[in-house]
Structure 1
Amino acid sequence: MSVSRRGVMKGSAAGALSIALAGSLDTIFQTSAEAKVGGAAGYGPLVPDPRGVLDLPEGFSYKTLSAQGDTITDGVLVPGAHDGMATFKGSRKDTVRLVRNHEQTASGVKPVAPSSLVYDPAAFGGTTTLEVDSDGNLVNQRISLAGTSTNCAGGRTPWGTWLTCEETEGFSGQTKSHGWVFEVDPTGKRTEPVPITGMGRFAHEAVAIDPHTLEAYLTEDASGPFGLFYRFRPRAHRGQYHAYLEGGRLEVMVCRDLPDLSLAQEPGEEFRVKWKAIPDRAATTTSIRKQFEDEQVTRSQKLEGAWWGHGKAYFVASYSKKEEGAAADHAGQVWTYNPKTDRIRLELIFKPGGRFDGPDNITVSPYGGGVILAEDGDGEQHLVGTDRKGRAFAFARNAFNDSEFTGATFSPDGRTLFANRQSPGVTFAITGPWHRIRH
């Protein structure tokens, strides 16, 4: 994904979340020298890591929990391409579980698991479940799903499971169809390698779930034509494991005033949307996004992360380029969909030319009312934070290579931030004086 995406974020703060909303450009991604080193806000300048792995502010430290190629047990190796993650209750009061995606397709370190956890033996994707103690030490890890493909992002369910998404519609040599969502039980007791067909077959990226209605909102990262934003309305409303396997209605978003999300360029713009039924959600012969003419739906280049919060579904478009077929240029957007009003709202936008770019994964910080964004852009890669005033700062820098950050997520108690470097895959546990954030 190495294209020009250096951007500037516009906005201010949105309630307690303080995700950048309509407002001042300068207060979000400042261009002063002080802001560039993280000194204007946040936790202060980044301190070079003598090991050349992860630069963090003074007082913060990291532990490497699980790296690609590590031995799990009996010769089983940790797969690579670490991606989306979420945290869950551990087996003890002092532990937390992480379920982590591996965005491998048909090559890499193949996950080795019991046949009961393998969907397609030809596929190299899947998930790993880690258990970590309160000091950030790895207690154990295991392969929790195997035989899936290109597991990029996903979403945490209100009933405490992980939905892992396949960002593909298939590959050469597959023995089963791909492009599905699978459910993973962090405890390891109930996971079955069964696709949730009701959520459609397409190049899934992420899922955000309304905890009240259990409706799910899904992003699609695809081109030729660009992807769509989906809503899944489940038939079952029990809010428990495998509820989605009972099926439901899958729809695509339509905004008559906005055929391409890139046309919105000012934070605060709102648009009313409708939802359209899908002729063939299994994409038996034709990809879902190709079952509609451009004027029938609303498309976007590079739809990425999705997250539910404050009664809304947040979803991200990482970038848009006219030279690649988009209607307008930008280096990243964050949108919200409000189910009570049936409106989408442009919350922030990156304009080309700034220090940070390529928004992808996002997680809410328990400290200071801000967020942590995983950068997937050009040049240096950062975990980018915002404070409650909407000011951005570099919280971490990949000092090892130019690989993106992925899977940023806080432990339930807020003491530890977990994040991945995708390649070579490694998971970090980051701790420090979180309450020291500058405002």
Structure 2
Amino acid sequence: MERRNFLRTAVVGSTAAAFGGTLWRGAASAAPAQPATGPYGGLQAANGDGILLPAGFTSRVVARSGKTVSGSSYAWHSAPDGGATFADGSSGWIYVSNSEVASGSGGGASAVRFDSSGSVTGAYRILSGTNNNCAGGRTPWNTWLSCEEVTRGAVYETDPWGVNAAVQRPAMGRFKHEAAAADPDHGYVYLTEDETDGRFYRFRPTTWGNLASGTLQVLVAGSATSGPVTWTTVPDPDGTPTQTRYQVAGAKVFNGGEGCFYAAGTCWFTTKGDNRVWAYDAAASSLSLVYDDSLVTSGTAPLTGVDNVTRSASGDLYVAEDGGNLEICLITPQNTVSPFLRVSGQSSSEITGPAFSPDGTRLYFSSQRGTSGSSSGGITYEVKGPFRG
């Protein structure tokens, strides 16, 4: 997505941050995350890739837009965006990445494959002919949901191995899709919408594991930032003639939905227009505020331009910035927020697609426009180091 600078229109009062899962229990009465020194310490000087990392961490370039991926014959796509990893069944893994450009410019998604040592063994296309594929999400049955960020955009279910053809999933709604997060505990896929008056959705497949049919619902709540919520079925997921987000009275408005990620009973998602990170507790059907830059009580808010989000095995959230100072920031279960890494010399870019390797020892992400500031200048990186388990 392009860089945005939205005017903040409201100041939020007191709230709660109730992160799901064992590591987050007991935080229900806590304030949203506040700045503190991160678990890995401060950032060191920029390395040869122009990345500032904590001591003990290293980086490497995996792929560059328009250039052949080392170890393959495939030229990496432009404007790399949302991504995820998949164990490949033979001790290696696959990283998939969307391409946020128009269909005529190569929109869709690609994958790069690694062996057990982390060496690249191949790269290939898994989705073609689609528009502005922004974020998405992986499914428990090992497919990648690639989401179009255009009016009446669709979700495409793709094969990370590149064997099976991608399939459009219209039952999941036609709107300006951003990200998806599958909840196997309750049988839903959560969906964000990248509009200034966007909504937060969930899709319940008729049969779990088959997204061909099901029910699309939208979150309904009062004006409070946190508390219990309900869900109402969207009458016409096709979004015509009335756009999906306008079909249910009382549906809660979210200012620019971005990344989302499900784990430990909670779906975390971000909204860029107000620099917030939210948590939806699926068991309690309640919403809470994890982070809001306007609620930082001392110093400068470290996280702005919130975008894609992922979670480590330790329960730490890693939130990428579209804007700010091009960081991936870390929010801990102890309600602290700090920079984990910063990309220097790429002020016209944004950070996208954070995802951990299946064993949790490597973090992948992209700088969508790299040093050139152009969609053709994207760079995909790997960071390796002593991530806490």
Give 5+ residue unaligned stretches, structure 1. Answer: 111-123, 170-177, 321-330
CA-to-partner distance for each residue in 1:361-408, whole Å, 9 max, x for gaps? 2221224x4221112233x11111234433322111011312221111
In 2, are the aligned partners of 1:405 and 1:421 still within 8 Å (CA)? yes
Q: Which of 311, 321, 342 is residue 285 of structure 2 equivalent to?
A: 342
- 1:409 to partner: Cα distance: 0.9
Specify the alignment match of 2:235 in structure 1.
279
- The 3-state SS of whatever aligns with 1:46 is coil
1:187 aligns with 2:161: yes
* Shift, 1:69, TM fit: 0.9
Residue-by-residue CA offset, 1:215-253 (whole Å, 9 max, x unaligned): 211111114xx111112121123x2xxx112x1111222
Question: Are the equivalent residues in 2 in contact too, given 1:5–1:358 (CA < 8 A)?
Answer: no
Q: 1:66 aligns with which of 50, 59, 63?
A: 63
CA contact (8 A) 1:315 1:335 kept: yes
After superposition, the C-alpha distances for 1:4-62 in whole angstroms (9 at most, x for unaligned) are 6899999778454559865256xx433xxxx5xxxx33222222224352111122111
Superposition deviation, residue 413 in structure 1:
0.8
Matched with 1:406 is: 352
CA separation of 1:395 and 1:296: change in aligned 2, threshold 3 A: closer
Contact 2:261–2:311 under 8 Å retained in 1: no
Check conservation: 2:353, 2:364, Cα contact below 8 A. Answer: yes
Q: Give 1:183 shift.
A: 0.7
Equivalent residues in 2 for 1:129-278 (5 A)?
Answer: 129-169=111-151, 179-192=153-166, 194-223=167-196, 226-237=197-208, 239=209, 243-245=210-212, 247-255=213-221, 257-258=222-223, 264=225, 269-273=226-230, 275-278=231-234
Q: 2:301 aligns with which of 354, 359, 378?
A: 354
Alpha-carbon distance change, 386 to 254 in structure 1, aligned in 2, over 3 angstroms: closer
Question: Which of structures 1 and 2 has the larger relative contact order (alpha carbons within 8 angstroms, sep 6+)?
Answer: 1
- Does structure 1 conserve the Cα–Cα contact (< 8 Å) formed by 2:6 and 2:273? no
CA distance in 1: counterparts of 2:358 and 2:183, whole angstroms: 19
Q: Secondary structure at the match of 2:279?
A: strand
| More displaced 10-residue stretch of structure 1: 16-25 or 214-223 | 16-25
Secondary structure of the residue aligned to 1:354 is coil
Q: What's 2:330 paired with?
A: 385
Greater mean alpha carbon deviation, residues 311-320 or residues 425-434: 311-320
Of residues 9, 20, 23, the one that matches 2:30 is: 23
* Structure 1: distance between partners of 2:229 and 2:186: 20
Note the C-alpha offset of 1:75: 7.8
**What is the RMSD of the two structures over their aligned residues, measured on CA atoms?**
2.9
Counterpart of 2:44 (choices 27, 47, 63) is 47
Q: 1:54 to 1:350 in 2, by over 3 A?
A: same
CA change 1:13–1:134 in 2 (3 A) is farther
Which of 258, 276, 287 is matched with 1:304 structurally? 258
3-state SS of the aligned residue for 2:60?
strand
Q: Which amino acid aligns with 1:270?
A: G
C-alpha distance in structure 1 between counterparts of 2:78 and 2:22, whole Å: 36
- In 1, the alpha carbon distance for the partners of 2:103 and 2:362 equals 33
Residue 105 of structure 1: how far off its partner (Å): 2.1
Quote the Cα distance in structure 1 between the aligned partners of 2:47 and 2:286.
Answer: 48
Question: Structure 2: how far apart are the matches of 1:64 and 1:74?
Answer: 15
Bigger radius of gyration among the two: 1
* Alignment partner of 1:79 out of 62, 77, 80: 77
In the other structure, the counterpart of 1:323 is none
* Paired residue secondary structure (1:244): strand
Over 3 Å counting, the alpha-carbon distance change for 1:249 and 1:11 in structure 2 is closer
* Partner Cα distance (2:47, 2:38) in 1: 24
Deviations 1:233-283 (A, max 9, x none): 21123x2xxx112x111122222x23xxxx52xxxx31332x223232112
Aligned counterparts of 2:4 and 2:381: Cα–Cα separation in 1: 24
| Residue of structure 2 in register with 1:113 after alignment | none
Match of 2:268 among 303, 306, 314: 314
Kept in 2, the 8 Å contact 1:11–1:390? The answer is no
Match of 1:198, SS?
helix
Identify if the C-alpha distance between structure 1 residues 152 and 99 changes in structure 2 by more than 3 Å, giving closer, same or farther: same
The answer for unaligned runs of 5 or more in structure 2 is 370-376
